[in-house]
Amino acid sequence: MILGLSAEEVADKFRKGDIRFTVFGMGKMGLPLAAVIADRGGIVTGVDIDPQRVEMINSGENPIKEEPGLTELVRKGVSEGRLRATVDGVRAVRESDVHVILVPTLVDEHGNVDLSIVREVAGVIAKGLKKGDVVITECTMPPGSTEGLIPILEESGLKLGDFGVAHCPERTMTGTAIRDITGKYPKIIGASDPETLEVVKGIYTIINVKGVYPVSDIKTAEAVKVFEGIYRDVNIALANELAMYCEELGIDAIEAFAAANSQPYCHIHRPGSGVGGHCIPFYPHFAMRTARRRIMHLTRTAREINDLMPVYTAHLVVRALSDAGRSVRSARVLVMGLTFRGGVREFRKTPAEGVIAELMGWGADVCAYDPMCTPEDAARFGVGWAESPEGFDCLVFVTDHREFRNFNLDRAAELMRTRCIVDGRQVIDPGEARKRGFIYYGIGRK
């Protein structure tokens, strides 16, 4: 029983291996967290519904190989007996003191929030919950959602106060999860009562070298993470809107933004062909769908602008081809990048999907290439695979992979049927492209 201990006492027990943790969800965020907890001295059971994933983890194999540093931590945790996985969540809860929920929170195509997986996990926890336990949600949810789980947890026969509840939002990105968990930013913590706050403070000061940032309650902690996502979405939308305005003025948005950002109160983000991933496109809906009054107009408008950018990028392809005297219908277009972000093999809400759909709708012959992907990945989007620009009429860069910044323009100029480039991520130098005879369009570029 750890409820009632001071933060220092909790931290000491954590280091000594006297606290047992259950982490629900062995995905891209849950498994790194479990592995870090084990590395810091905790005894961790990861719970997942996928028996094959559970088996891999228990054999010391990392199922998320693309996450830097995770393979070593999983192997170490398993070999030292500090990390294991199971499909039996109830038993794991009975054997643990702290139960962390880090499972997907979903949004459908209409923006409706679906927390069914989180509620299912709360029901499992209720079947094994004991007096003195602490339940922590880390998955991002609309403010008020964690407190909404309390009645489910009280089906255990216990009342809030017999156990503690907290929200300590994950602030991680795919590709840097270990770094983010262990010290890129301080950990936001909010709890149901001061005793629970002491417990989570003791836990996360061991996990995170940047320490903790306590807030007054659970709902505030939930709002922090949602607001972080909304801030970025709105700022990106502003950048996109200003970039399109710069195109009308005939000025370079990237140059203008860099100069504006030399003033410390200005922080314009980079424009681009769309906003993808599991986070930023969805978190605004957590506020828009739960606001009781008709507010959130700015947030809603920003979401509309960013959702429009893949279509706008496709329109630039049409303009470039038109300048070259070629119609988009039957033109051969190579989409450069399928993942939503450079260096990460993830496809959720990737702008490439919208760009491809728009171009194919206009009759273009579309193929794709991505250095992190395979021909099978391209087939998921209904297009062919091409590693060479030979015979294509337009290259459209949708993802900012590092490899694209070293793209061989000379070779492309020799091989392409028509020399057109549309740059949705500022990976190609406009002057260098035009020097080689390319018709170049970039979002916000002169």
Q: Which residues are catalytic?
A: 225, 279
Spatial separation of the C-alpha atoms in residues 420 and 428, rounded to whole Å: 12
Phi, psi at 136, each rounded to 5°: -120, 130
Region of residue 164 (phi > 0: left; psi between -120 and 50: alpha; otherwise: beta): beta
Task: Give 148's DSSP letter.
Answer: G
Spatial separation of the C-alpha atoms in residues 313 and 318, rounded to whole Å: 9
Tell whether the torsion through CA atoms of 140, 143, 149 and 150 is positive or negative: positive
The number of angstroms, rounded, from the C-alpha of 236 to the middle of its chain's C-alpha atoms is 15
Encoding tokens for residue 288?
Answer: 């828009």
Residue 28 and residue 67 in contact, taking contact as beta carbons nearer than 8 Å? yes
Tokens 């038993």 locate to: 91
Distances (CA, A) of 248 to 221, 243, 302: 42, 9, 20
Encoding tokens for residue 385?
Answer: 């695979």
Taking alpha carbons only, the member of 138, 137, 124, 56 closest to residue 91 is 124
Residue 320 and residue 280 in contact, taking contact as beta carbons nearer than 8 Å? no
Taking alpha carbons only, the member of 23, 15, 14 closest to residue 85 is 23
Spatial separation of the C-alpha atoms in residues 87 and 384, rounded to whole Å: 39
